[in-house]
A and B are shown apart, each in its own frame.
Chain A
Amino acid sequence: MATRPVHLDSALQEAVNRAREAFASSGQLRPKPGPYTSPLSEQERRAVATLLRDGTYRQLADAVAADDPDIANL
């Protein structure tokens, strides 16, 4: 999947080009590929899935964002 930028004005395009060059130089454009294994046990992983599915995590994230508009879903 990719974005389809249709309205990048010249100032934004210039800033994006500069950033891409810098990230390419520092190797940040591509994370290191490789198989990932969670350090959590099966039971712990199930608990995370439950926290995410039952809305507990969303409530916690909304609560911290309520005090900090810069990390809120505005």
Chain B
Amino acid sequence: MLVVDDAFLFAVLAETAPEDLQAALDQGELFTTGSWYWRLARALHDAGSAGALSRGMDNLTVDQQARVTASVHRLPPQVGLLSLRELVPVMATLQAGRQLNLLTAEAVAVAVVLDASIVVTTDSPLLSDSRARLGIEVRGVAP
């Protein structure tokens, strides 16, 4: 099982991710987290993003640009997303004695529960600490 960050979620939804991630999606072995999904949705819909997004897609019509941003509105059933109802107790236990933000606590909890690897475009000190402490595999890959 793989747990992907927001950038890789965007990539797999557009079928532009590395082959192993697209294969994991088709095989029902790819998860993300609510926090990464939320960051993706905010990055594409925040009022402050409009200018940069428009410049980055200046070869597309306005309608095409809208289709790109709307492409994340519905996760296909092939993407796994665990409910916080059951995940929060694990996150709270991970949190004991450490300062984890929501993003990291959720990602680490999902990886531990699923015995999965985390695949990110950007590593972070909190993830690195969890990797060392819990033996979680965190793969940093260029998008």
Which residues of A does B touch, CB under 8 Å? Answer: 1-8, 11-12, 15-16, 18-20, 22-23, 26, 28-41, 43-54, 56-61, 63-65, 69-74
Task: Tell me which residues across on chain B come within 8 A of A37, comparing CB atoms.
Answer: 15
A49 to B75, CA, bound (A): 19
CB pair B134–A56 under 8 Å, yes or no, is: no
A56 in complex: contacting residue of B11, B53, B85, CB < 8 Å: B53
A47 to B62, CA, bound (A): 13
> Which residues in window 38-70 of B have CB below 8 A to A?
38-40, 42-44, 46, 48-49, 52-53, 55-57, 59-60, 64, 67-68
B68 in complex: contacting residue of A2, A11, A40, A70, CB < 8 Å: A40
Which residues of B does A touch, CB under 8 Å? Answer: 1-2, 6-7, 10-16, 22, 25-31, 35, 38-40, 42-44, 46, 48-49, 52-53, 55-57, 59-60, 64, 67-68, 71, 76-80, 82-83, 85-87, 89-90, 92-94, 96, 101-104, 109, 111-117, 121-127, 133-137, 139, 142-143
CB pair A31–B68 under 8 Å, yes or no, is: no
Task: Tell me which residues across on chain A come within 8 A of B112, comparing CB atoms.
Answer: 3, 5, 8, 12, 16
